[in-house]
């Protein structure tokens, strides 16, 4: 059974959706980001970047236990393990990986910055309007990129794949980000198709009771999530070595 270190965020949803789509048994190990679970020594052993999601598969390659961090790497691993949603044929596989890395390097980080300024920046002093508008505009641009490719493709890489599972969670917050999704007719069609898939709905529901979208944050939890520096990470790493 896969052990999934998880919090109910878009990066976490990518993995629960894939696990549900593949009917792979899994166990959730909650990671409370506001309380600093991501800095515990046991977690850092499998996720040195102190970020979730991460998985542990006791039945990895050659029947050996393996741990994997970074959502894109996890999706590729699960695709290869299950033989689903990641084509084996080189041309088709490259197309899927293009859009997976597009999400990992573009849509996710830009939407994450929009989320920060919409959901959390009000907890910090200063005028954040330029930053919020900067990332909202880039998010809007990326949605148009998706809409363009979906003009001729049913899904991002042609057939339904891990690329779609990776991107979908980062589109779900469009209302909070003040986006009119209906102006992207192809993206709207794609979004509605995915949200009606039973496995997608089930994956998105995992841990929903723990979602807060920036509400009820304490100064300690805000510092834990957004106040990390090289020195603080070095300190946590030393704690790990001392144990």
Q: Is the pLDDT of residue 18 over 80?
A: yes
Q: Is 197 exposed, middle or buried (0-12, 13-18, 19+ CB in 10 A)?
A: middle
- CB < 8 Å & 24+ apart, contacts of 45-53: 45/240, 46/5, 47/5, 50/228, 50/233, 50/236, 51/11, 52/5, 52/6, 52/7, 52/9, 52/11, 52/12, 53/4, 53/5, 53/6, 53/7, 53/11, 53/12, 53/14, 53/15
Q: Is residue 237 part of a domain?
A: yes
Q: Which residues contact 76 (CB under 8 A, 6 or more apart)?
A: 86, 97, 100, 162
Band (pLDDT 50/70/90 cuts) for residue 33 is: confident
What's the domain range around 76?
Answer: 2-84+214-242
Q: What CATH number is given to the structural domain containing 110?
A: 1.20.1050.10
Tokens of 144: 């148009």
Q: Is there a single domain that holds both residue 55 and residue 155? A: no
User: In the prediction, which pLDDT does 212 show?
Assistant: 60
Q: Is there a single domain that holds both residue 41 and residue 113? A: no
Read off the pLDDT of residues 146-203 as tens digits, 9 standing for 90 and up.
999 999 999 999 999 999 999 999 999 999 898 999 999 999 999 999 999 999 999 9
In this structure, the number of other CB atoms found within 10 A of the CB of residue 167 comes to: 28
Q: Is there a single domain that holds both residue 167 and residue 121? A: yes
Q: What CATH number is given to the structural domain containing 58?
A: 3.40.30.10
Q: Which residues contact 61 (CB under 8 A, 6 or more apart)?
A: none
Q: Is the pLDDT of residue 225 over 80?
A: no
Band (pLDDT 50/70/90 cuts) for residue 237 is: low
Q: Is residue 17 part of a domain?
A: yes
Q: Is residue 99 part of a domain?
A: yes
Backbone torsion region of residue 216, taken as left when φ is above 0, otherwise alpha when ψ lies between -120 and 50, otherwise beta: left
In this structure, the number of other CB atoms found within 10 A of the CB of residue 168 comes to: 24
Q: Is there a single domain that holds both residue 12 and residue 107? A: no
Read off the pLDDT of residues 86-96 as tens digits, 9 standing for 90 and up.
999 999 999 99
Q: Is residue 207 part of a domain?
A: no
Q: Is there a single domain that holds both residue 52 and residue 146? A: no
Q: Is there a single domain that holds both residue 127 and residue 231? A: no
Q: Is there a single domain that holds both residue 173 and residue 235? A: no
Counted domains in the chain: 2
Query: Is residue 92 within 8 Å of 172, Cβ to Cβ?
Result: no
Q: Is there a single domain that holds both residue 134 and residue 35? A: no
């Amino acid at each position: 059974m896969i052990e999934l270190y998880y919090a109910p965020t878009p990066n976490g949803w990518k993995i629960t959706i894939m696990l549900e789509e593949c009917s792979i048994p899994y166990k959730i190990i909650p990671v409370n980001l506001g309380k600093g679970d991501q800095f515990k020594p046991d977690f850092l052993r499998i996720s040195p970047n102190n970020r979730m999601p991460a998985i542990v598969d006791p039945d990895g390659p050659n029947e050996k236990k393996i741990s994997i961090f970074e959502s894109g790497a996890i999706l590729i691993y699960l695709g290869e393990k299950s033989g689903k949603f990641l084509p084996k044929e080189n041309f088709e596989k490259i197309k899927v990986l293009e859009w997976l890395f597009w999400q990992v390097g573009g849509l996710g980080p830009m939407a994450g910055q929009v989320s920060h300024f919409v959901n959390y920046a009000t907890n910090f002093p200063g005028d954040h309007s330029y930053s919020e508008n900067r990332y909202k505009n880039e998010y809007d641009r990326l949605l148009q990129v998706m809409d363009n490719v979906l003009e001729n493709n049913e899904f991002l890489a042609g057939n339904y794949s891990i690329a779609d599972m990776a991107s979908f969670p980062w589109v779900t917050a469009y209302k909070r980000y003040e986006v009119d999704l209906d102006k992207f007719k192809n993206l709207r069609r794609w979004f509605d198709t995915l949200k009606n898939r039973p496995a997608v709905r089930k994956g998105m529901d995992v841990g929903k009771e723990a979602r807060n979208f920036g509400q009820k944050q304490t100064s300690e939890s805000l510092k834990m999530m957004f106040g990390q520096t090289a020195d603080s990470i070095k300190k946590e790493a030393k704690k790990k070595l001392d144990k």
